[in-house]
Amino acid sequence: RSGRVLVLKGDTYKDKVPKTEFTEDEDGNVFETRILTDRFV
């Protein structure tokens, strides 16, 4: 993860990679965080 911006020319196909994280605070509340990352294939 270098932080570079890549320019893609022509036909590109994107795939979404889902990731789900569960965190709990000190009060017992559960938080669900969903992250969808675009992956070029």
pLDDT at 1: 59
Strand partners, 23: 31
Closest CA to 34 of 24, 19, 22: 19
Report pTM.
Answer: 0.49
pLDDT in tens, 1-41: 577 877 777 777 888 999 999 999 999 999 999 999 988 77
Q: What share of the chain is helix, strand, coil (3-state, %, to 5)?
A: 0, 55, 45
pLDDT at 26: 95
Can you say whether the dihedral through the CA atoms of 24, 25, 28, 29 is positive or negative?
A: negative
